[in-house]
Amino acid sequence: MEFLARIVRFVFWVLVLSWVFRLIGKVAGWALRRAMTPSGQPGVDTAPAGSPPRGPQLASRQLVRDPVCGMHLAETLAIPYCDAGQLLHFCSVECRDRYTAGSLRKAANG
C-alpha cells in the first residue's frame, strides 16, 4: 500500500511542477511581449514612416479565398487574376487555369 501512495504522491508533484513551469512560461512570454513594444502599450508603434511593419501589424494581413478550391491565403502570396473587371485571387497556377477553363466553357455555352 505504501508503494501505491508513493506513486500517487509522485504523480501529484509532477502535475504541480508542470503547472508551475507553464505559469512561469506564460509570465515570461507576457513580460517579453511587453518589453518588445516601445512604450509598453500593446499595439502602439512608434517606428518611422516607411519602415516595414512589425509586431501586431504582421498578424493583420488580409486573407483572400481561392474560388476554385476554397483555400484561404495571404493576399501577398496569392496569384491575382482579373475576370470581367473583378479581381480574383488563386492559390496556384493550376487553380487559375481550372477557373479560366470553366469560364471559357460557360462563355461557349452561352
pLDDT tens figures, 52-68: 555 545 545 789 999 99
pLDDT at 108: 61
Task: Report the run of H or E that residue 25 belongs to, with start and end.
Answer: helix 2-36
d(CA 74, CA 63): 5
CA dihedral 65, 67, 71, 76 (to 10 degrees): -50
d(CA 57, CA 80): 23
pLDDT tens figures, 21-54: 999 999 998 888 888 776 545 544 455 554 555 5
pTM above 0.85, yes or no: no
d(CA 74, CA 91): 9
pLDDT at 85: 87
d(CA 69, CA 86): 18
Look-up: residue for cell 511587453? 34
d(CA 41, CA 55): 12
